[in-house]
A and B are shown apart, each in its own frame.
Chain A
Amino acid sequence: MLAALTALLVFQLIGEIISMALGLPVPGPVIGMVLLFFALVIKGRVPADLQQTAQGLLSHLSLLFVPAGVGVLLHAHLIAEEWPAITAALIGSTFLTIAVTALVMKWLMPKEKDDAA
């Protein structure tokens, strides 16, 4: 677990360095994810230790967003002032995006034997 966690941090660190050095708009962890993905493709399999640690971390992924979510306190005023525009934009746009993406993917995707399960 310790080795796997270290590996994740090392990939994040490399990602951060690349992101900063090249002035990319893409944050370090996302670059780290891409690099780790290619490393796994080269290696040809996921080490058991890494699989386990990643699973542990990802099974509580939504917990990790709680601290930033509580930041809503900082902007309570602004949100209260413009709540109709903000609420409608968030809900309307999220629904539209889900529908558009899912439908385009469904139309263009090669068919699996039977997806309508």
Chain B
Amino acid sequence: MSKDFTEIWVYLSASPLLGLTVTLASYLAGSWLFKKSGDNPLVNPVLIAVASIVALLWMTGTPYETYFDGAQFVHFLLGPATVALAIPLYNQFQQVKKTFGALVTALICGSVTAALSAIGIAWLLDGSKQTLLSLAPKSVTTPIAMGITEKIGGLPSLTAVLVILTGIIGAVFGRIILNLVRVKDMRARGLAIGVASHGIGTAAALQASEVAGAFSGLAMGLNGIATAVLIPLLVTLLF
């Protein structure tokens, strides 16, 4: 009996089915808890899913690569989903056009703040140079951030994780910070979330309103471009 189970486990743990199923199931569980909590941003579905999968992999001694064999099908959809952000952006185009000057200025201020404050805070607390460099692009979407880190000599796979953590922090606490600084306009709120916490923030902003989601998606795209130009310059100045 127990031998049969071991055989089944050996078979399943080598197939992509398990990683894929676990990813979807734990995310569904996270979403269910999020709904149950009355859409409380502290109960973030990504955070719940990541934490429970990490715990599961750790308990079963499954390497990340094995998990990713299955999870890559979900990961792959990030590309077409990024392209799809053009649609809310187009739907809100009139709104975006009206505020374009303000938007670009705010975006550049945010982009510089994100990179400088991340490097500065970590430097004050004795972070290693590799950590500082890997932190610098933490506010932009994963593929751009990894590209930037590679260019400036950080650790791209560490950056990927820091980017996700940043996104979760933005999605969880964004609303609190925005209320604290008393910004109520959905355009400004969406923009700020998109600049600071890319796609995960955008997902949260989309749930709040389509206007916020469109500005957040636009901010994420533009900030990716701005940061890709800015950080290599900053790094040559600082290091």
Contacts and interface: CB of A to CB of B under 8 A. Distances in A.
Contact of A71 (B64, B101, B122, B202): B64
Contacts of A33: 82-86, 89, 221
B153 interface: no
Contacts of B183: 102-103, 105-106
> Which 10 pairs, one residue from A and one from B, show the smallest C-beta to C-beta distance?
A101-B110, A85-B127, A108-B102, A67-B71, A102-B192, A29-B82, A85-B125, A105-B106, A36-B86, A25-B228
A1 interface: no
A73 B232 CA distance: 28
A63 B74 contact: yes
Interface string A72-108: 1111001100101110111111111111111111101
A102 B181 contact: yes
A93 B121 contact: yes
Contact of B170 (A9, A46, A94): A94
Given A27-B147, A66-B26, A98-B177, 20 more contacts: A25-B228, A26-B224, A33-B89, A41-B93, A54-B84, A63-B24, A63-B27, A64-B78, A65-B142, A67-B67, A70-B50, A89-B122, A90-B118, A90-B138, A91-B173, A100-B110, A101-B191, A106-B183, A109-B102, A115-B185
Interface in B156-181: 157-158, 160-171, 173-174, 177-178, 180-181
Contact of B199 (A11, A36, A41, A65): A65
A39 B175 CA distance: 33
8 contacts: A32-B82, A57-B77, A69-B164, A72-B54, A82-B127, A90-B169, A104-B105, A108-B102
Interface residues of B, number: 115
Interface of B: 23-24, 26-27, 45-46, 49-50, 53-54, 57-58, 64, 67-68, 71-72, 74-75, 77-91, 93, 98-99, 101-103, 105-107, 109-110, 113-114, 117-119, 121-122, 125-128, 131, 135, 138-139, 141-144, 147-148, 151, 155, 157-158, 160-171, 173-174, 177-178, 180-181, 183-189, 191-193, 195-197, 199-200, 202-204, 206, 213, 219, 221, 224-225, 228-229, 232
A97 B178 CA distance: 11
Given A33-B221, A40-B86, A102-B192, A89 B167 contact: no
